[in-house]
Structure 1
């Protein structure tokens, strides 16, 4: 099935998120209580809510998006080019720019969104933050009323499961076993909040996010038994 999808019709993406505030004490009293309640089963008795707050970026209710990186193929005959770009800045502007991209360039029935663990994280996180920021959800992210086979999403982690619902493979593991250059050669997800709030180095995060997008595209090519992208085929725009 995936062999029949035209590469030019796929938008590969990855997001980076952080806690909505730099530290727990900056939350108002009610938000602190709600975070404590939301995370009680994950924390158990090992961490206080304040100690656990550095993980708040994995929940759309307590985190925010700091960048969305996307990549797409442009093929002409035997020549292929993979173009990568990133939306960053104020979260609402990120979401508006991403929505405009979907509505203006990836809004046709043949268009598909693709990410790694994106059905569990990226896609719903973006949609929830759009609601919070009062941004209209594009049709490619609005799943209400759609049957499973009508959902225009591909998840490379789901493809790797082959129906095994218990199986989880990180992108780092999958790139290793598929002999793809690892995107985790600088920072990983657990360090993004520190780099954002303490080092204030958004460029480093953007580079990391774009490497993830390229890695997702490489994994997809592996599934199709096609040659991996080489550096000359990748453009940052």
Structure 2
């Protein structure tokens, strides 16, 4: 049961991704052809491959991670805090930093990773990009040979589905229906590409990503029917 998991054993996370290159024409001819073939079904006759390239960030083969935000609970002397931090360097470096965090602090059997739609997006995206950069997979992302009940991942979308596999609920909608307070954001996921390449404002993306991590933690608290975090309990460490 969810209530039996110690909150301090969970690492909450979210990633923000963009196309690997700013412009479609930065791809070599073979990669352009592969992109065209990969997206043919999604594009149909509505867009050509170049017009569709601004969506390349959702595929690990054509996108890259620009930040990974993480959060974890800390209980000390009866006080509860939720600490947030973000890795936002060059992709290979931030992946190494994230891997070190897992190795040093979240590698034991009781530790879990938690994200919203993480099993379909965040976890495999991180693992694929690590392999592309020839980095070793951390134990918590190496799922080869594991049985479903051995996978150390929590997914708030999966928890909310209650076995209804055709159902999708965005994190924004879920926080709304669960009455979890959420500050208004000035960007959405579809804006991240432009904010990164055009505005070159990584701080704005980090702020957006950390809000999602906090929201995921709040959802877990709500599903456990526990008191939500207050602003005074949240600490952002840069």
Fold-level similarity (TM above 0.5): yes
Map 1:53-68 → 2, pairs under 5 A: 53-68=53-68
Q: CA deviation at 1:184?
A: 5.6
Q: Say which is worse superposed, 176-185 or 64-73, in terms of deviation.
A: 176-185
* Matched residue, 1:214: 214
CA offsets, 1:55-102, max 9 Å, x none? 000000000000000000001253100000000110000000000000
1:195–1:202 CA contact under 8 A, matched in 2 = yes
Q: CA deviation at 1:182?
A: 2.9
* Matched residue, 1:13: 13
Structure 2 gap ranges (5+): none
Q: Distance in 2 between matches of 1:183 and 1:141?
A: 31
Q: Distance in 1 between matches of 2:88 and 2:20?
A: 15
Q: CA deviation at 1:180?
A: 1.1
CA offsets, 1:176-217, max 9 Å, x none? 101112366211110000000000000000000000000000
Map 1:180-191 → 2, pairs under 5 A: 180-182=180-182, 185-191=185-191
1:69–1:85 CA contact under 8 A, matched in 2 = yes
RMSD over aligned CA atoms reads 0.8
Number of aligned residue pairs: 237
Q: Distance in 2 between matches of 1:117 and 1:183?
A: 21
Structure 1 residue ranges (4+ consecutive) displaced by more than 4 angstroms after TM superposition: none
* Matched residue, 1:226: 226
* Matched residue, 2:71: 71
Structure 1 gap ranges (5+): none
Q: Distance in 2 between matches of 1:152 and 1:77?
A: 28
1:183–1:208 CA contact under 8 A, matched in 2 = no
Map 1:35-184 → 2, pairs under 5 A: 35-182=35-182
* Matched residue, 1:28: 28
Describe the shift of the 1:174–1:97 C-alpha distance in structure 2 as closer, same or farther (beyond 3 A): same
